[in-house]
Chain A
């Protein structure tokens, strides 16, 4: 079986980590790593790994559009709004790792199958990939969830400049994802950056207001969901199984990264990339 030809646009932490994951994939082949600065650490890494690189950004993708089947867009939400119509015109499937929300939101453990035919899918946010499946599991076990909230804490060093400048978009997109997947009108997202050394591993908590929580059913649904996520995010671990504390239904996970480009503490980077790869591989395996 020939591998699916993919390109990566954006050579920051996310793009470079994705590259390493693509190179390891049995079904994906990176034909182009495109950005703006040949001297960036990501570009240097890609060149050392023998990957074809381009400093022409989007134009680099356009120039080789005919051979690219799928592009991972790891730039910014603002840029993805400009890129999306170009990818559509070229017939390239877009996996969007920015909070641009152009395409359907995809959490592989929940709705992978129904996203496979879409031309553009959005990977929401790192906190969204960690929290939304838990919120979904809570909603499946409890019919009347009134409110869902998620809090993620990540190591300062794992938050690059784009993450820092886009905190508002991160919160908004994560909240929208919770609303959609948990079918809950009222949601809230909170993000903390922690500078402690050694770096803290990504932790995500989901809290919910549920009138009469079915704790046993919630625990079963959450355990099942965690097992599904671990198929594509090996470092996803339940830290606190669902409990009720001060009237809040609470559960908590820790996400260890694979340590591909950034160290293992950067589970936030890893989980959104693992989700993107899981999607692309499923598409590759199904593609004719």
Chain B
């Protein structure tokens, strides 16, 4: 007989990762309606805001329809058992400008993220949130790009700054289950804080990878209703709830309300739910940030190039999240190459 399964913290990132799928146009009415449904389903945390987190509304990664403070307050007003969380990337968000405000707006958990090899840029933000007594986790994004040893070293830095959990994000949807087992397994074994996994579904493995993470020792898992998230979307929460129940993991989630929340999301965000397409598959294969999907399609259309070529070229250049401006440059270069014009860029 296997021993009893440990309790799993399930984070609902629908109103944050889904922002990418909705070109950051989520309304306050949608925030309130969905947050209420998520609360009823019993998800531990409800993450809200721009897809790239606090302070990210910009021309670079897209402007939010609603100011983030209004979104946070609207969600906070709907939550009781479930707690409000935000994604924070230093380089976009600052302590004085965004974190201080978010503390005031009722955020219970700050998930401070960075590209997976750059943990030291999170030191001040993690320490600050701890110093004011709020919960904070470290998030390593694009974690398919680093070895398990590097991920352990970077996680240990975040742990030393005060992070109370570490989440590996498969931001590109590039992991296979054996990668998850190796990386999460090492972190779960060596770290003192709980470890989590955030899946993307580019290769159709979001649930399989989430399950592999839990079996390797993860205690935190992210998902979104109907997979409403960047690129091919995330691990669908309604499926996670079902699979976790089937596996016997206690989560505090109530199945029917979780299924209802997914149905509600399908109505609220009809027409924008993620889909597996040639573009999202190539994005996963190339290991490019899932949220590049829409801007790549826009730039490719304007400059008359194949979006799949743009993804492979971006992957070759090893771009990271936040480098959306390079999409235009790459598309421009491919267009010039196709028409055999000399590139604007001087040759090295």
User: Chain A: residues with CB nearer than 8 A to chain B?
Assistant: 147, 149, 151, 153, 156, 161, 164-165, 167-168, 171-172, 188, 190-196, 200, 203, 205, 207-209, 237-241, 243, 245-246, 248, 250, 252, 254
Contacts and interface: CB of A to CB of B under 8 A. Distances in A.
B60 A207 contact: yes
Contacts of A207: 59-60, 325
Contacts of B332: 240, 243
A171 B323 contact: no
B161 to A, nearest CB: 11
Most buried by A among B59, B326, B345: B59
A164 B298 CA distance: 33
Interface of B: 58-60, 90-92, 94-97, 114-115, 117-118, 120-121, 123-124, 145, 295, 298-299, 302, 317-323, 325-326, 328-329, 332, 344-346
Given A151-B322, A193-B114, A207-B60, 18 more contacts: A147-B59, A149-B58, A149-B59, A164-B123, A167-B94, A168-B94, A171-B91, A172-B97, A192-B91, A194-B319, A194-B323, A195-B118, A195-B145, A240-B344, A245-B298, A246-B302, A252-B325, A254-B345
A151 B298 CA distance: 19
**Which DSSP category, helix, strand, loop or mixed, fits chain A's interface?**
strand
A260 to B, nearest CB: 18
Most buried by A among B94, B96, B117: B94
B172 to A, nearest CB: 14
Contacts of A203: 325-326, 329
Contacts of B123: 164-165
Contacts of B60: 149, 151, 190, 205, 207
B35 to A, nearest CB: 27
Contacts, number: 110
Contact of A195 (B90, B115, B302): B115
A168 B344 contact: no
Contact of B328 (A149, A153, A250): A250
B30 to A, nearest CB: 23
Most buried by B among A147, A200, A239: A239
Give 8 closest A-B pairs by Cβ, nearest first: A196-B318, A205-B325, A168-B94, A207-B59, A192-B322, A195-B117, A191-B91, A248-B59
Nearest to A191: B91
Nearest to B92: A190
Contact of A193 (B115, B295, B329, B346): B115
Contacts of A250: 325, 328
Given A149-B59, A168-B96, A192-B320, A239 B325 contact: no
A205 B115 CA distance: 20
A46 to B, nearest CB: 26
Contacts of A243: 328, 332
Most buried by B among A171, A194, A237, A252: A194
A250 B60 CA distance: 10
A61 to B, nearest CB: 29
B318 A194 contact: yes
A4 B328 CA distance: 45
A168 B58 CA distance: 17
Contacts of B115: 192-195
A119 B328 CA distance: 42
Contact of A190 (B114, B117, B124, B322): B322
19 contacts: A153-B322, A161-B120, A164-B118, A164-B120, A168-B90, A168-B95, A171-B91, A171-B94, A172-B96, A190-B91, A191-B91, A193-B121, A195-B118, A195-B320, A203-B325, A237-B345, A240-B332, A240-B344, A245-B302
A252 B60 CA distance: 12
Contacts of A168: 90, 94-96, 124
A156 B117 contact: yes
Given A167-B121, A190-B91, A239 B318 contact: no
Contacts of A193: 91, 114-115, 118, 121, 320
B201 to A, nearest CB: 25
Most buried by A among B90, B95, B124, B325: B325
A209 B59 contact: yes
B344 to A, nearest CB: 6
A94 B319 CA distance: 38
A151 B323 CA distance: 8
Given A168-B95, A190-B60, A246 B121 contact: no
Most buried by B among A196, A205, A245, A252: A245
Nearest to A147: B59
Nearest to B59: A207
A95 to B, nearest CB: 26
B230 to A, nearest CB: 17
Nearest to B318: A196
Nearest to B294: A246
B92 to A, nearest CB: 6
Nearest to A150: B60
Contacts of A200: 317-318
A142 to B, nearest CB: 15
Contacts of B121: 164, 167, 193
Given A149-B60, A190-B60, A194-B115, A239 B95 contact: no
A151 B345 contact: no
B345 A190 contact: no
Contacts of B97: 172
B94 A165 contact: no
A151 B344 CA distance: 20
Nearest to B302: A245
A241 B344 contact: yes
Given A165-B123, A190-B91, A205-B60, A156 B345 contact: no
